[in-house]
Amino acid sequence: MDPYNSADALNISKQQDNPYAVPSAKLAELHEAGQWEKAGRGVRLGAVLIDGVPIAIVGILAAILIPIVGNDGKGGVSASGMALLGIIVLLMLGYVAYQLTLLHRHGQTFGKKMLGIKIVRSDGSRAGLARIFWLRMFVPGLIGAIPLVGGLFSLIDPLFIFGEEKRCVHDLIADTIVVTA
């Protein structure tokens, strides 16, 4: 091979990786090589619990403060009670927007980010926000709202995590898996 021959030099450059390229994690290749692993059941449960803490705190505060502040003494709701209710609604909407932003950028909620796990497609590629929101959240929520069937679905969905694949029904619907990040 003649390094001064442009055809040989071109073949050499194609064979070598660019040392200045931005590093990337190609999950599909890692999946084929078996180098990444699915997140454990306990870690996934922990992430859900962490994600629920802010909602629980705001809910508890609302349950305590609204009856105290919101009562106008005539059986109605006072202006300060309405203001408090508005603040609670804004806090909840802000939290939802924050979680959706994290899901869009990283495939992680706050709890998943803290525990080092993320949502990806079953082939290892990035799961987009539309897939995560509509197929992992909205469709199971819609099924869960159906009388009689919904309660059964809401029970079965998380129990599927005890299967061999460690995937809930909402993971199967959205073609996603949760892996260690």
Which pLDDT tens digit goes with each residue over 119-149?
Answer: 999 998 999 999 999 999 999 999 999 999 9
DSSP state, residue 146: S
Residue 38 pLDDT exceeds 80: yes
Q: How many CA atoms lie within 13 A of 32 on its CB side?
A: 4
- pTM: predicted TM-score of the whole model, two decimal places: 0.75
Structure tokens at 162: 């005890």
Task: Determine the Cα–Cα distance for residues 157 and 140; give it in Å rounded to an integer.
Answer: 8
- Please determine, for residue 10, whether its predicted confidence score (pLDDT) is greater than 90: no
